[in-house]
Structure 1
């Protein structure tokens, strides 16, 4: 029996929309209508309908010679909450940086016949594919151009909304220059190794966050490309352990590799989390609170062998202290594993002190910021320190990004 039928596609699309509502990714009638209207499977031919319409599944459309994913149709959940962040209304002009076709079609539904959508990508294979799929799906009016995303697309500027659908390390001047004065930029910005989809608006000469969401994306290519660096601490094949470094950070890799082989020290915070509570706000706090921050990543065999006591394959918040380091960990407090205590494991000559420093910041988060949202600001490079808000300052190529938290009275 052929399950890839229009009727089955419609049923699966309805289920996807219901799932996105349940996940709080779709929050408005306008975004729901767009998802019901655009046939997602037309933008991912050859994939099963179940895969295409799964709410949290991305469809990879291109990999490089090393097998690294360089283009995808993003998961519907991420596309939905980014469109909600953007707040697109009929008649708007919207730039999408990073093409694929499907998201541009959703935007076209939101702006209507009076609006204008421009989708750009550095890769002509991707734009050709997007152009073909958009035409086949009935969205001929979407503009598609081969452009390095760092440059934006001045031809159709200014834009009421700019949505970036590739992970980026910085915000180039072209995006702010091409954004309308009352416009909004939604961008998956990587800061200290952590990526958040942030909705920015202008305040004078800089951008200020309105909200943000945890996300993951393939990385920007071209002039804006900036990959995370790895400091490998354990390189037995299949058991690799490494620190993921960002923002041109330098560490003493050889001494940290030696530290990992030394006995561990533990410190425990007394702070607890439920088994299904998210970690992302704690990780963001630690990234902003500790001076030398990295993410400790390990392959499963390394975790299973106990070389490191972390459950995250992507990376766990880590404090680097010269030749020592400490990373966040947990331990269950009951047999059902429904409650966990947060702690830190340290390695190196100052392992105990480093672990205790990380644990103290976990306590500060719990006491002062557990229910808070951070505030991101993006100022032009060269902005003097006294013109920046209090908080962590991250210097990038084009900008100075700050992360601040509400002050406690």
Structure 2
């Protein structure tokens, strides 16, 4: 708990300003969620010493716990995504809700919305996190309104016999555990940050018979799930001439023959440009998702300081693909007179031209058939009566089922 209680008047002003911004940006759309955000003192739930300006900034998450390597493994999420996820869940007074991933603040918001006749259970695998959540909830007056449970939510939770109206998953999940659906009523909603080949969308799913259909989606990132539901990336290191590395990160299947990339960064770099442009300040997050599901050999990139790519960081994005003995990555170049940027690809390898062309073709396909069109998501658990998926539907095979993504009038002809 943050023992720097600050000036109550200052905290209240910043909290109201945050809520006003969330309302203005349509991140809060219901009076129930507005009231909860104006009521619960976020600054009493974050880590000691966190400044008020950080606590009540719309985009700031605040670390709760870090691993031995310094990586955040639990946090209080940014206010905007907490608001959006609660709105996605469609909570009202009297509902029961299960939160997977504890922290305290989000559970208190849920308790305010469902009220005294509702039910909130918050579960986490880490005893440090659950102990802290119980402490801050007790100290802020929510101790008797939230049940905090220490367990791995990948498995059925003992003692929870009545299903929940809604489930909010507040950690990045590679798959949906069968136990979650066991705990969800027919017609209920589960909101989950689902990782799809390394790209995350916070999806609101409604349960319909034997499968789940999306009702909403948001762009956000989350710390990864721990325990039985964890899914690690595989990382392949490409050394450059100075001994630094470009890291290719694969969440799905790793392409065969990665040894062909040995020494690839010593080859001449090539590039290709798509003719697809975008104005400054406009989101193109769905391009990342399109590439993740339609571009063969897709991977995410990370680079050491000292590499050529690090020196050019403003001209590329950390998404690319392996293409045989070559690899390409998403790049941009400025348009004249500040008119925005053009998407393209830069590539290394003996067949870098082919790798860059393959990426550019998918940029163009997204522009024709996916741009400014909201994708829909479906999840089919193992054993469900799945239909035949059309060639315009991206199919991602998971451990416990299949996730599909469709864009209206998706681009079969372009692929």
Could you tell me the TM-score, scaled by structure 2's length? Answer: 0.91
Q: Structure 1 residue 335: deviation in Å? A: 4.2
Within 5 A, what are the aligned runs for 1:33-182?
33-46=35-48, 47-139=50-142, 140-153=144-157, 155-156=159-160, 157-182=162-187
Checking the alignment, whether the CA contact within 8 Å between 2:369 and 2:407 is kept in structure 1 is: no
Q: RMSD between aligned alpha carbons?
A: 2.3
Distance of aligned partners of 1:235 and 1:170 in 2 relative to their CA distance in 1, 3 Å threshold: farther
Superposed CA deviations along residues 187-218 of structure 1, whole A, max 9, x for unmatched, are 00101000110111123211121111111111
Q: Give, in angstroms, the shift of residue 311 of structure 1.
A: 3.8
- Using the TM superposition, give the Cα deviation of residue 45 of structure 1 relative to its aligned residue in structure 2, in angstroms: 4.6
In structure 2, the CA distance between the partners of 1:178 and 1:237, relative to structure 1 (3 Å rule), is farther
Conserved? CA contact 1:86–1:163, under 8 Å? yes
Partner residue of 1:230? 235
| Preserved CA contact (<8 Å) 2:255 2:322 | no
| Distance of 2:296 and 2:385 partners within structure 1 | 20
Structure 2 match to 1:220: 225
Change (3 A) 1:237 1:368: same
Match of 1:183 among 183, 188, 196: 188
Shift in Å, 1:21 = 2.3
Contact 1:302 1:308 in 2 (8 A): no
What pairs up with 1:352-363 in 2 under 5 angstroms?
Answer: 352-363=353-364
Alignment pair present for 1:346 and 2:350: no
**What is the Cα deviation at residue 163 of structure 1?**
0.2
Q: In the alignment, which residue of structure 2 is the partner of 1:30?
A: 32
Q: Is the 8 A contact 1:154 1:178 kept in 2?
A: no
Return 22-31 or 224-233, whichever deviates more.
Answer: 22-31
Tell whether the 8 Å contact from 2:239 to 2:263 is kept in structure 1 after alignment: no
Instruction: Give the SS at the match of 2:154.
Output: helix
1:266 and 2:299 aligned? no
1:152 Cα deviation from its structure 2 partner:
4.9
Contact 1:238 1:301 in 2 (8 A): no
Change (3 A) 1:370 1:180: same
State the 1:330 CA deviation. Answer: 0.7
- In the aligned structure 1, how far is the partner of 2:40 from the partner of 2:243? 42
C-alpha distance after superposition, 1:91-136 (max 9, x if no partner): 1100000000000000011101111000000111111110111111
Closer/same/farther in 2, CA of residues 202 and 369 from structure 1, 3 Å limit = same
Deviation at 1:250, TM superposition (A): 4.1
Provide the secondary structure at the position in 2 that maps to 1:72. Answer: strand
- Counterparts in 2 of 1:252 and 1:23: CA distance versus 1, 3 Å: farther
Aligned residue runs from structure 1 range 196-345, under 5 A: 196-234=201-239, 239-299=244-304, 301-302=306-307, 306=311, 310-312=315-317, 315-316=318-319, 318-336=320-338, 338-345=339-346
Rounded to whole Å, the distance in 2 between the matches of 1:348 and 1:304 is 15
Instruction: Flag the 1:290–1:263 CA change in 2: closer, same or farther, 3 A.
Output: same
Instruction: Count how many residue pairs are aligned between Structure 1 and Structure 2.
Output: 404
Q: Distance in 1 between matches of 2:125 and 2:242?
A: 35
The answer as to whether partners of 1:188 and 1:197 remain within 8 angstroms in 2 is yes
